[in-house]
Amino acid sequence: MLKLYDTELSSRLLLGTSRYPSPAILTEAIRASRAEIVTVSLRRESGGERAGQGFWSIIRGLGIRVLPNTAGCHSVKEAVTTAQMAREVFGTPWIKLEVIGEDDTLQPDVFGLVEGARALAAEGFQVFPYTTEDLVVAERLLAAGCKALMPWGAPIGSGRGLNNLFGLKALRAHFPDVPLVIDAGIGVPSHAAQAMELGFDAVLINTAVAEAAEPARMAAAFAQAVEAGRAARLAGPMEPREMAAPSTPVIGKAFLG
């Protein structure tokens, strides 16, 4: 079971809800993914607009947990205000905290992220920070009150997979008991399986499913990949070798004189 704050979950796949061609396709993808958490931007959900209420009714009808996010926020003040509004709209203390620091890569502003996490944790929020693989930043976020981290694999929407394997492995090794969710950059199911094989606890997918030719089929593929990667991690994968190692024993082999 995956435990995020005080919530236990069976699925280790989180799904984003933006960029889908239609509400019907989004619904099919969520069901196919078997995800128990979806991320939702407050910019898509407005308490006073019929479109927003319609979207919210779809999510509620699926009976899954919502993780609101502060997507698109470039300052601590904007992110904190958005989080406060999201808590009122969605009725949850959960918040995926994004403070964007660079427009081309959408890299997090890690200084603002720590400041925002500290402020929100003090208000009782359960913060899921979208961060980098930097170990010092991770320490600061945990000290600020975060009990889970969401490091990027690659820039948002890039589909490049896990760009910094060394950094991600180091992050996992340094914080063995902290839930770590790979967020951003996953492009194909093999990327998700690789993240799980490295020991990460879950992955968050959005663009790779929403922009697939068949989103529901892709969502199902990601669900299978996450399960396979997790099973491989638990099974204890072999260590890579520099040289070949014969799989057929030499002892007992007949030799011609």
Q: Would you please indicate which residues are annotated as catalytic (active-site) residues? A: 96
Residue 236, Cβ density class (10 Å: 0-12 exposed, 13-18 middle, ≥19 buried): exposed
Residue 210, Cβ density class (10 Å: 0-12 exposed, 13-18 middle, ≥19 buried): buried
* Residue that is written with structure tokens 């980098």 in the block: 132
Largest CA distance in the chain: 89
Compute φ and ψ for 126, nearest 5 degrees: -105, 105
Report how far apart, in Å, the C-alpha atoms of 95 and of each of 136, 143, 235 are: 22, 17, 33
Minimal CA–CA distance to 184: which of 162, 215, 210? Answer: 162
Angle, helices 135-143 vs 110-122, to 10°: value is: 20
Minimal CA–CA distance to 4: which of 108, 169, 146? Answer: 146
